[in-house]
Amino acid sequence: MSPTFGLYLPQVGRSPSQLIELSQAAESCGFQAVWFMDHLRLPGLPGGTFEGWTLATAAAARTSTIRVGHLVLCAAFRPPALLARMAVTLDHVSGGRLDLGLGWGSSPSELTELGLSSDPPAVRLAKLAETIDIVAAMATGEPVDFRGAYFTVKDEMAGPASLQRPIPLFVGGTGPRTLELVKAKASWWNCWAPDRHRLAELIPQVGDARVSANYSIGFAPARGASDWVLYGTPDAIARELRRDRELGVEHFVIQMVDPRGGVADLERFMAEVAPALS
């Protein structure tokens, strides 16, 4: 099976109209997915960010084939039943193009200082597991009677079912208990950029889940790399990604780090890097 490619567009430093225009450009260039982030603010950056679900809905309405999602939604931001209805609704709005990414939250200060959650990590992870079960049950359109340690959801009337059965579920994170959750419940595991050098170690721990990985990329005459960014010519970058492809990565999520490159960098990636991975 050929790999697929997604464009990561964190909503920092760009307006909603610019992000939607880049989503449309990604679709035109041949990317299969566009991904947003789910933060209301980021540590170390002044100001806040645009809310991710609203933005994904706008992008879905302005595109026709590219899939939309988040890497990853913070489960603590939205009650499970609300998240389930939101997911089913966006799945319908997009014509079955939603990829549902979920995690338990990477910024404790964001959660506590904005009044969203004071739960310790272990509790947030346990709540994520229950959230996944509730969303999956409600997306069937059948009555739900869920009684967990943290959430109780009783929906006798049921509701609309999702178009996709099931909606693909991406879970992000590299901790041992998160990987156990991926193995038990997720369709996909997403590895974020700083941990891509651990793919050989981590992939065997996710069971049958398919693998996506994030890459921050910049085109440059000479090869270079850090924990976050991979620099080089298209050929050099393709060699790096091909190694991960051989380890089992099926979906490559690309963030182009040079804002000056714009759509031209997207076109260059899909013309000169992506074909080398097929």
When the pLDDT of each residue in the chain is averaged and rounded to a whole number, the result is 95
pLDDT tens-digit series, residues 107-162: 888 999 999 999 999 999 999 999 999 999 999 999 999 999 999 999 998 889 99
Confidence at residue 48, expressed as pLDDT on a 0 to 100 scale:
82
- Spatial contact of 3 and 252, defined as CB atoms under 8 Å apart: yes
Distance CA 179, CA 206 (A): 6
pLDDT tens-digit series, residues 260-271: 889 999 999 999
Residues 6+ positions from 128 with CB-CB distance below 8 Å: 75, 102, 103, 104, 171, 181
Query: CA triplet 202, 245, 271: central angle to 5 degrees?
Result: 140
pLDDT tens-digit series, residues 191-229: 998 899 999 999 999 999 999 999 999 999 987 767 689
The domain in which residue 156 lies consists of: 4-277
Q: Is 146 exposed, middle or buried (0-12, 13-18, 19+ CB in 10 A)?
A: middle
Q: Report the range of poorest mean pLDDT among 44-58, 88-102, 223-237.
A: 223-237
CATH code, domain with 47: 3.20.20.30
User: What band does 1 get if pLDDT is binned at 50, 70 and 90?
Assistant: confident
Which of 44, 51, 71 is closest to 193 using CA atoms? Answer: 71
Q: What's the start-to-end Cα distance of the chain, in Å?
A: 8
Q: Report the range of poorest mean pLDDT among 61-70, 223-232, 253-262.
A: 223-232
What's the pTM value of the predicted model, to 2 decimals? 0.96
Q: How many domains does the chain have?
A: 1
